[in-house]
Amino acid sequence: MNHLTILDNVSTAILVTDKYMGIKYMNNASEHLFSNSKNSLSNKQLGAVFAVRNNIIISQIYEAITHEKTSVARDLRIPLTNRELLRVDCHVSVFYEKKEKNILIELYKINEQKKHYEDAELDESDNATKIITRSIAHEIKNPLGGIRGAAQLLNDELSDSQKEYTNIIIEETDRLKRYVDSMVGPSQEPNKESTNIHKIINHVLNLMASDSRVQTSLIKDFDPSIPEINIDKEMLTQALINVIKNAIEASDNKGKVLIRTRIGLKQNAIMKAIIEIIDEGPGVHEKLKQKVFLPLVTDKKKGTGLGLSITQRLLKLNDSYIEYENNRVGATFRIVLPMRNQ
């Protein structure tokens, strides 16, 4: 059996470069990891894959070339030239072939088990927060109902010229009730139907068209091969509105927002439809990284901290999820949706 055939069937991403960091070989796992083909990257510099500036892998390779030593680095966040951020363990070593120095780079994507553990911790925290939120919501909504009822009775006793203040009380109690309901989040079962996600995305952009930033800052990169999926259209619409709105606000009128769709291979070799919203803002603040999807968590001066929390719950109801990662510039929020018949 050809040794290249063996390498093409291992799950570890493997690259071989010359001493000038020109790519000589990459296996199938590397193609998947970088979302790029061997043909397009063959004989190109590693700079065509990795963002060179402040990249620890590039530093590892320089060290290997200079000192001919093996190095291992764990749990790295590696920026790519396509603005994605990889989370990997990296092993770099030197070997010789026909007296020519070569660099072997092995990239182990952080395993799903570790991610599941982190997700489980987040779910536990989210569940505890939901219990507290629902308890608080119940305590708030009871007196709100009484206040609204009393204002309505009083309203019936007053002349039209005297109803201004009771109408304000009724309107404000209704507003507070809607706000409290949004804190609790959706509870209804999804109405799933066969859906083209690109139609949903375009519908969302049409809904947001009155915002001039949508016209000037958005870039679409769609994969037309993605088949229809089974999902609640209204829930996906609301989830996308929340994430796209955040991305536009994060870019602060200065940067672009890329909406990209792809088919991806996730855990257990199950194919997923992926929607990525990539902004050019400051990224998620360090102090919010572990709780960005929890309710009432925000770094915006006028934010409610409910958008991403509601988005996460809407997607969970549809057997989907959202994740994020900070890029070299900005952040990527990734919505992962189940494909049909899997």
Length of the chain counted residue by residue: 342
Tell me the one-letter amino acid at 56: I
Q: Which two tokens stand for residue 257?
A: 């927002």
- Close Cβ partners of 154 (under 8 Å, ≥ 6 residues apart): 166
Could you read off the pLDDT tens digit of each residue along the chain, which spans 342 residues? 466 677 777 778 888 988 888 888 888 888 888 877 778 787 888 777 776 554 677 777 777 777 777 777 777 777 676 656 677 888 888 888 888 888 888 888 775 545 555 556 556 655 656 666 667 777 777 888 888 888 888 888 888 888 888 888 888 888 777 767 666 666 667 889 999 999 999 988 888 877 766 666 788 899 888 899 999 988 899 889 888 988 888 777 677 889 999 887 554 446 788 899 988 777 766 665 555 666 555 555 554 556 677 788 888 888 888 887 777 777 888 898 988 654
**Dihedrals φ, ψ of 210, to 5°?**
-70, -20
CATH number for domain 192-338, candidates 2.40.160.10, 3.30.565.10, 3.40.630.30, 3.30.365.10: 3.30.565.10
Which of 300, 270, 303 is CA-nearest to residue 285? 300
Among residues 68, 46, 67, the alpha carbon closest in space to that of 57 is found at: 46
**CA separation for the pair 92, 225 (Å, rounded):** 36
* Model confidence, pTM: 0.55
Please give the Cα distance from 152 to 80 (Å, whole number): 60
In sequence order, the β-bridge partners of residue 88 are 76, 109
Q: Tally helices (H) and strands (E) across the chain.
A: 10, 12
Domain 3-110: CATH superfamily is PAS domain (3.30.450.20)
Strands (E) located in 98-178? 100-109
